[in-house]
Amino acid sequence: MAASYPRELQIQFDLRVPMRDGITLSADIYMPVANQGKINRYPVILSRTPYMKADVSLENAKYFVRHGYIFVSMDVRGRGDSDGDFVPYFNEGRDGYDAIEWCAEQPWSDGNVGTIGASYGGRIQWLTAVERPPHLKAMVVLVPPSDPFVETPTGTPSPMHLCWLHLVSGRALQSMDVVEWEQVYQHLPLVTMDERVGRRIPSWRTEMQHTQLDSYWEPLCYQQHFERVEVPALHISGWYDDEQIGTPLNYVGMTARGANAEARAHQRLLMGPWGHDTNASSKLGAVDFGPQAIIDLRAEQLRWYDHYLKGQTVEVGAPVRIFVMGRNEWRDEHEWPLARTQWTPFYMHSQGRANSRFGNGTLTRVKPDAEQVDTYLYDPADAFPFITDATSSQIGGPDDYASLQRRDDVLVYTTEPLEEDIEVTGPIKVELYAASSAPDTDFMAMLIDVWPNGLRQRLCDSMVRARFRKGMDKPELIEPGQIYHYTIDCWNVSQVFKAGHRICIQITSSAFPKYDRNQNTGEPLGMATEIAVAEQRIYHDAAHPSAVILPIIPSN
């Protein structure tokens, strides 16, 4: 069926947009039909994408054109119809600057340019904003990745990152279904994992040469440069976005360190019960968040642009709007984290056998005294799994970990059934005291809502790699047998644990294939094939009070 365009829409295909180095990028321009040949000037919304400009923007383009905007959809360098070589992210700041200034100079532009984009298209807006293009007036940033190693603090790219690199190899999108990804993820050494895909992927191998935060990564670091950004930004993500951590970090960073008071005041955070595909469905995995989970997201974006690109006096909403899961309702707030948060440690306890959900691990607000240590064996050849589809389009969700918690290589600490509802909204951190028989290993923490019917719903999680306990720029192996204090940033959540439910934290040493397996040998990352079994020891006593710190929101 032929595409249906609104009568007022006209399109100019494949306009060549010059970059400062002589390369030209391809843009399609969606605009209102000229009135009797007269060229009217409109504000411009620019979308830059590696996913083929013709495929991802039509609905957005039609919507914004109807509301008095020019919509520009552009293939990034080396993708689609654009010239040059595609090196993920490294050219995007300069190219974004040049594209914005080109848009501002066109006869159909009134000089006010906004940007929009998700995921890759979100991160490159930030890389562009720190370059300070003069005509960039507003951004709508959805589900952006963070700086290197924030999402994957392992020193190596996630095995599932290889799916994405395969997808964007060449100039057109590649087929994902022809690759047996589960087999690919098992390959060692990591550096040659691309061979199991069936192609050599230079970006994968280059990243494997830079397994700590060094000067190579500096061009991709934007979160340390918010003082250079003076653009109003609408920050959008979901609690189950697999790159969720970046959105609240960016909101907090801009409200605290934006270039000036005006920029700091004109930020907005919107977090829904969604995955990486924002606002797509009210149901994820086994959990249905109700019809109210889906909102008119384009209308939210339109109000943002009308206010900051057209100068209209429209209400753009409270600074923070969050969906509170469990209660399944939207709520407006004024800051993030919430000022009324009560940061509450829930301490891990056991009689030395917290292994599996059938063990004796408990979670209480009482600080531990003298208690036995918990131990388990971590075998990279039989790594504890992370529940996810095989490809990287959505990594994890509100999945049920009941069956996996039958394993002995996971420690499970759980409260008694709650007597009343408890709201947990904000960043989640785990303070863990642990020792290992290995010179390097991993520790994973996951927050879980245990339902009365037995469902064990994943809420949020993350990990620490022992050699990076002091920072991604300071790798240092550990001394086997020595106790270390680790802080695990488990990202953010807004969840009401209902009366009768239980709060659970699980500790293990892998979440495969979300993260690569630590091989426990201490050898250079990504290059080794040998593996070793590690004995892990988790301490929870007066001197080592392992705990999860929950941001509890009082009910009154």
Catalytic residues: 119, 241, 276
Instruction: Classify residue 177 by burial, with Cβ atoms within 10 Å: 0-12, 13-18, 19+.
Output: exposed
H helix and E strand count, the chain: 11, 23
Consecutive H or E run containing 432: strand 422-436
Alpha-carbon span 300 to 314, nearest angstrom: 11
Alpha-carbon span 310 to 130, nearest angstrom: 23
Contact present, 163 and 391 (Cβ < 8 Å)? yes
Alpha-carbon span 486 to 471, nearest angstrom: 11
- Measuring CA to CA, which residue among 118, 201, 217, 117 is closest to residue 165? 201
- Specify the amino acid at residue 216: Y
Alpha-carbon span 79 to 86, nearest angstrom: 6
Compute the chain's Rg from CA coordinates.
24
Contact present, 528 and 521 (Cβ < 8 Å)? yes
Alpha-carbon span 146 to 242, nearest angstrom: 11
Count Cα atoms within 13 angstroms, Cβ side, for 175: 5
Other Cβ atoms within 10 Å of 175 Cβ, number? 8
CA dihedral of residues 26, 27, 28, 30 (deg, nearest 10): -170
* Residue environment code for 221-250, b if the CB has 16+ CB neighbours within 10 A, otherwise e: bbbebbeebbbbbbbbbbbbbbbbbbbbbb
Alpha-carbon span 304 to 469, nearest angstrom: 40
Contact present, 39 and 107 (Cβ < 8 Å)? yes
